[in-house]
Structure formats: C-alpha cells, structure tokens
Structure 1
Amino acid sequence: MISRKLYSMQMKTGQDFEENLRIIEDFIAHCGKNAIICTPEVALSGFVYQKINEAGEFSKVATERLLECSAKYKNTLITTMIEQKNKKFFNNLKVFHKGEIIHKQSKNKLFTLGDEQLHFKAGEKGEISIFDIDGVKCAALVCFELRFVELWEQIRGADIIFIPAQWAKARKNHFEILSQALAIANQAFVVSSNSANDTMAKGSSIITPYGIVYKNDKKSFVACEVDISETSRMRKYVNTGIRIN
C-alpha cells in the first residue's frame, strides 16, 4: 500500500492578497507532513486584471513564503499565480515540494469567455507533462484545459492529476462530469480544486481511478487518504493500454 494524504481546497479568494496567502499558509500548517494540497486557480489574487501588475509583484513574495512553508511542514502544494516575464503575463502553475519548486507550467488553453487571451500569454503545450512527487507520477491541468481530451492523452500514466480551477456556476455540471470522466479514462486519482466565490461552482473533489467521488460543497476543503497502488490495480483489471508502474 502506497498511502498519500490528498487535500483539495475550496476557498474564497478576496481582494486582500496578503489575507489570501495567510489562508493558504495556515492550511498547509494544518495538513502536516507529506500532505499533497491543491488550491483553486489564482487563489492568491483572483483574475484581478485591473491590478495585474500588483498581482505579479505579490507572486514574488508569495513564492518565497510558500517555499518556506512547504519546507517547514515537509509537504507539497499545487497552485497557480499571475507572473510576468518579458513584459508578458502568464497564469503559472507551480508545485512547491518540501522547499523546492519541482515543476512549473503556464496555462496553455486560455478561456476566451473570460477574456483571458487579452491579458495573458498562453504557455507552451509541451509544458503540460508528468512530474514526480516522492515517487508518485503526477500531472496537472488548469481549469479550462480540462475540456481538451488531447491533453488527457498527453498525461496518461500519471497516478494523480490536479485541477486548480475558477469554474463558474453556470457550467458546474460540466466541471464535475469532466473531472470524473478524466479519472475514469486515465484510471488515475483526480484532485479538482475550485473556487468558493459567489459566482463559482465549488464542486471540488477527490476522485478515485474507479470514478468514486468524494466532495462536499458545504466545506472549505475535501480530504482523503488514498492508496496510490489502486491505479495499478485498476489498469490491470481494465486494460486500456496505460503503462502500469
């Protein structure tokens, strides 16, 4: 049995960047050693296009503090934040693991209904790839990227897939159905973390390779201790050609 403690945050993101960061830091401390935590998309700031420069600068501060926090509590955090490079802004996913950034990817599929393409530069598709957390193969899709099945294929073989999101209420069932379908199709655990802001769908969940969903829209997080070897058992039981680790 390969046991891992998985946490999906279902937090509200307010206008106070410092308070948002404090909420995340306190939650990391609460989860303790070896936890793997996923936050909603841009949980530090939200999509504050009117303060995008300020958000980009705050991400520098947040990065240093999250590095310190993940080192102190010896756990892992998956989150996204607004960052600037070469005068362009990106929605960057970072994996903080025990005091290091072990993976980074920029959101490739920008959500045109939210005018993301007017404010962000799209990341390279090739950055969406499998990475390792303490011997466990992991991957991530950012919000709108969940809709693109070719990206599901790109990360086949991951044991855990993280989805930080800001998914609206109007399409709540899409978020929940697609998250469950991804777990079943890729025979992997899926940790989806959606915002609890007033216009957002919540629906955060931890889903098993068999498609069993753990969620609670009344809480600020979802937690589950899982056996990672369930992915291998599922891939042997229903052989769809996914490599067995």
Structure 2
Amino acid sequence: MISKRLYAIQFKTKQDFQSNLNEVEGLVKKCGEDAIVLTPELVFTGFAYQRMTQASEFSKIVTESLLNASKDQSIITTMIEKNGNCFYNNLKVFHKGEVIHKQSKHKLFMLGEEHLHFCSGDVEEIIPFRIDGVICGALNCFELRFTDLWRRLLGSEIIFVPAQWGKARKDHYETLSKALAIANQAFVVASDSANESMAKGSAIITPYGLCHRDDKREIISAEVDLNEVEKMRKYIYIGLESKRCLN
C-alpha cells in the first residue's frame, strides 16, 4: 500500500486578507506532517477586483508564509500576481520549502468578468508535475469544464481542482469533478469556497468515482492508496499507465 493523506480546505474568504491567511495557516497546520493540502481558488483575497494591486502585493506575503509552511507539507493554492501590465490567477504548488510548479489560469470565466481583470495564462503550463514522485495535475475552477484540458493531464494519479464555484451550478462542480476522476482514472481533490454564494462540494474522489464529501466541514480528508490507480488502469484498461517514481 502506498498511502497519501489528502486534504481539501473548505473556507469562507473574508475581506481582511491577513485574517484569511492566519485562518488558513491554522487549518493547514491541523492537517499534520506529510499532508497534501488543497485550498479553494484565491482563498486569501477573493477576486478583489477593486483591490487588485493590493491583492498582488499581499500574494508576496502569502508566498513567503507558504514556503515556510510547506517544509513539512505540500500545499496547492491560487493567488493574484502581477507580471508586467497583467494580473494573473496563478496556481502554485509548494513542496519542501519551494514552489515546484506554477500555472496561470488559462480559461477565464466571462460570466464572472474575469477576462476584464486578468490576462489568460499559457495553456502549455497545464502539465503534470510530481510531488514525492507521484504524478499530479491541476485545473483551476472554470478549467474543469474543458475536456481538452483533462487530456493534458492524462497519466496523473492525483488531480487538484481549486474553485470559487457558484451555488447555482453546484451539481456541475460535483458531477464534473467525479467525471474527471473516472475518465482520467485518478484521485481528484476538489476544494471550493464556503462563502454564501458558493457551491461548497469539496471532496476527495477515488478513481472509481467514490466521493468523500461534507459541506459542513472546513477540512475534508481521506487517506488514499495510490495502488488503486494502478489497479483501475490495469483492469479497466483505456491506455493509461502509471509512471510513478517514488523518492
């Protein structure tokens, strides 16, 4: 058995950036050493369209904090960052005190006016990465709706989906997250905001489509056996193979 403890944070983001950071830091600490923790999309600032410069500056503080916190844990989150004249919604993976992967949100949600405030990231950044040799991938919220992006992550054993997904489309988030797990024969960690207008629906989903979900909790967790990915791909063969390289 090759086990990993996966955690999805389900947090209500507030207007006070520092308060958000303090509270999320506390939740991450509760997850313990060697945890792999996913937060909701833009959990530290929200979309903050009226405070984009302030939010991007605060992301520098968040980054320093997570570099320190990730010495004993792996943390996946997203934050507003500025590069040149553009603001980006950047997904970053913190592991062993380093940023080991970064991708800018490629598919911007027009209904939420993201395209008016952010630049679109390069789709070529949406590629698998490794955490302790385990092949992982990530899709940032609205990107979950695009199956061509699912295919970019084929072979991943764990796929992370941080979100600020609206309550009116809750069933879409839950259904698509489950479908991704089944189609890519991978574990999916889905982390949505707990704000009033949001869907919640955070979950740990197995390659068989079994969901560990609780809309009332701030932390959803499951200890998973990564051999289940290999079994699924062996017995229901669709051409996927695991290429894990454990350290």
Aligned to 2:202: 204
Q: Please state if 1:183 is matched with 2:165.
A: no
Provide the residue aligned with 2:237 in structure 1. Answer: 239
- Are 1:166 and 1:195, in contact at CA under 8 Å, matched by a contact in 2? yes
Q: What is the match of residue 94 of structure 1?
A: 92
Unaligned runs of 5+ in 2: none
**1-structure distance, mates of 2:64, 2:28:** 14
CA distance in 1, matches of 2:194, 2:121: 26
Moved more, 104-113 or 29-38: 29-38
Residue 191 of structure 2 is matched in structure 1 by: 193
3-state SS, counterpart of residue 197 of structure 1:
coil
Q: Kindly provide the amino acid, as one letter, of the partner of residue 24 in structure 1.
A: V
What amino acid does structure 2 have at the position aligned with 1:69?
A: A
What's the TM-score once normalised by structure 1's chain length? 0.98
Picking from 98, 101, 104, the partner of 1:103 is: 101
What do the CA deviations read for 1:47-74 (whole angstroms, capped 9, x no partner)?
1100111000000111001101112xx1
Q: Tell me the CA shift for residue 145 of structure 1.
A: 0.2
Which residues of 2 match residues 57-96 of structure 1 at below 5 A? 57-71=57-71, 74-96=72-94
* Count of residues paired in the alignment: 243
Which residue number in structure 1 is paired with residue 47 of structure 2? 47
What runs of 5+ residues in structure 1 fail to find an aligned partner? none
Q: How does 1:144-223 map to 2 (within 5 A)?
A: 144-223=142-221
SS of residue in 2 equivalent to 1:11:
coil
Q: What are the Cα deviations for residues 21-66 of structure 1, in whole angstroms up to 9, with x where unaligned?
A: 1112112211111100000000000011001110000001110011
8 Å CA contact retained: 2:157, 2:242:
no
Quote the offset at 1:98 in angstroms: 1.6
Query: Partner letter of residue 204 of structure 2?
Result: I
Task: Give percent identity, aligned residues only.
Answer: 57
Q: What is the CA–CA distance in structure 2 between the aligned matches of 1:69 and 1:225, rounded to whole Å? A: 21
**Is it true that 1:11 corresponds to 2:11 in the alignment?**
yes
Please state how far the C-alpha of 1:244 moved relative to its aligned partner: 3.0
TM, length-normalised to structure 2: 0.97
Answer whether contact 1:48 1:55 (CA < 8 A) is retained: yes
After superposition, what is the alpha-carbon deviation per residue over 1:68-101, rounded to whole angstroms, capped at 9, x for unaligned?
Answer: 1112xx1100000000000210000000112000
Moved over 4 A (4+): none
